[in-house]
Structure 1
Amino acid sequence: MTAIVSCGRAAALALAVGMSLSSAAVADEADARNRLKAMFAYMNAQTNIGFQYDANLEVVTKDQQRLSLASSGVVTLARPDKIRATRSGGFVDVETVFDGKTLTVLGKNKNLYVQVETPGTLEHLIDELKDKYHRPLPAADLLLPNGYDELMRDVTDVKDLGSGVIGGTECDFFAFRSKEVDWQIWIAQGDRPYPCRFVITSKLITGNPQYSIQPRDWKFGTAAAAGDFSFKPPAGARKIDMKELSEMKDMGELPSHFAIEGGR
Structure 2
Amino acid sequence: MRYRSESPFQNARLLTVTLALAALAGAMPGHADEKQAKDLLKAMSDYMAAQEAISFEYDTSLEVVTKKHQKLALASSGTVTLNRPDKIRVTRQGGFANVEMVFDGKTLSVLGKDANLFAQTEVPGTIDHLIDALRDKFHRPLPAGDILMSKPYDELMPHVVDVKDLGSGVIRGEECDHLAFRTDDGVDWQIWIAQGQSPYPCRYVVTSTKVAGFPQYTIDIRSWKAGSDAAAGNFSFKAPDGAKERKLSDLPDTDELPEIFSVK
Q: Distance in 2 between matches of 1:213 and 1:107?
A: 21
SS in 2 for 1:126: helix
RMSD between superposed Cα atoms in Å:
1.9
Listed one character per residue, the Cα deviations across residues 122-143 of structure 1 (whole Å, up to 9, x for unaligned) are 1001100111111111221111
Q: Look up the equivalent residue of 1:88 and give its one-letter code.
A: Q
SS in 2 for 1:257: helix
Deviation at residue 82 of structure 1 after TM alignment? 0.3
Listed one character per residue, the Cα deviations across residues 137-165 of structure 1 (whole Å, up to 9, x for unaligned) are 12211111232122111211111101000
Deviation at residue 37 of structure 1 after TM alignment? 0.2
Determine the structure 2 residue equivalent to 1:75: 80
- The one of 229, 243, 258 equivalent to 1:223 is 229
Q: Which stretches in structure 2 are left out of the alignment for 5+ residues?
A: 1-7
Deviation at residue 7 of structure 1 after TM alignment? 7.8
Listed one character per residue, the Cα deviations across residues 206-231 of structure 1 (whole Å, up to 9, x for unaligned) are 11100010011111111113411000
Determine the structure 2 residue equivalent to 1:13: 20
Determine the structure 2 residue equivalent to 1:174: 179
Q: Distance in 2 between matches of 1:59 and 1:134?
A: 17
Is 1:138 paired with 2:168?
Answer: no
TM-score (norm 2): 0.91
Is 1:28 paired with 2:37?
Answer: no
Deviation at residue 196 of structure 1 after TM alignment? 0.2
The answer on whether the counterparts of 2:46 and 2:151 sit within 8 Å (CA) in structure 1 is no
Q: Distance in 2 between matches of 1:85 and 1:209?
A: 24
SS in 2 for 1:55: strand
Deviation at residue 252 of structure 1 after TM alignment? 2.5
Q: Look up the equivalent residue of 2:219 and give its one-letter code.
A: I
SS in 2 for 1:44: helix
The answer on whether the counterparts of 2:189 and 2:207 sit within 8 Å (CA) in structure 1 is yes
The answer on whether the counterparts of 1:78 and 1:226 sit within 8 Å (CA) in structure 2 is no
Is 1:123 paired with 2:128?
Answer: yes
Number of corresponding residues:
256
Q: Distance in 1 between matches of 2:72 and 2:111?
A: 26
SS in 2 for 1:164: strand
Deviation at residue 10 of structure 1 after TM alignment? 4.3
Q: Distance in 2 between matches of 1:231 and 1:56?
A: 28
Determine the structure 1 residue equivalent to 2:258: 255
Q: Look up the equivalent residue of 1:212 and give its one-letter code.
A: T
1:158-169 equivalent positions in 2, closer than 5 A: 158-169=163-174
The answer on whether the counterparts of 1:77 and 1:226 sit within 8 Å (CA) in structure 2 is no
Q: Distance in 2 between matches of 1:199 and 1:173?
A: 11
Q: CA, structure 1 residues 63+219, in 2 after alignment: closer, same or farther (shift >3 Å)?
A: same
Q: Which stretches in structure 1 are left out of the alignment for 5+ residues?
A: none
Q: Distance in 2 between matches of 1:7 and 1:168?
A: 27
Question: Identity over the aligned pairs, expressed in percent?
Answer: 57
1:88-127 equivalent positions in 2, closer than 5 A: 88-127=93-132
The answer on whether the counterparts of 2:190 and 2:205 sit within 8 Å (CA) in structure 1 is yes
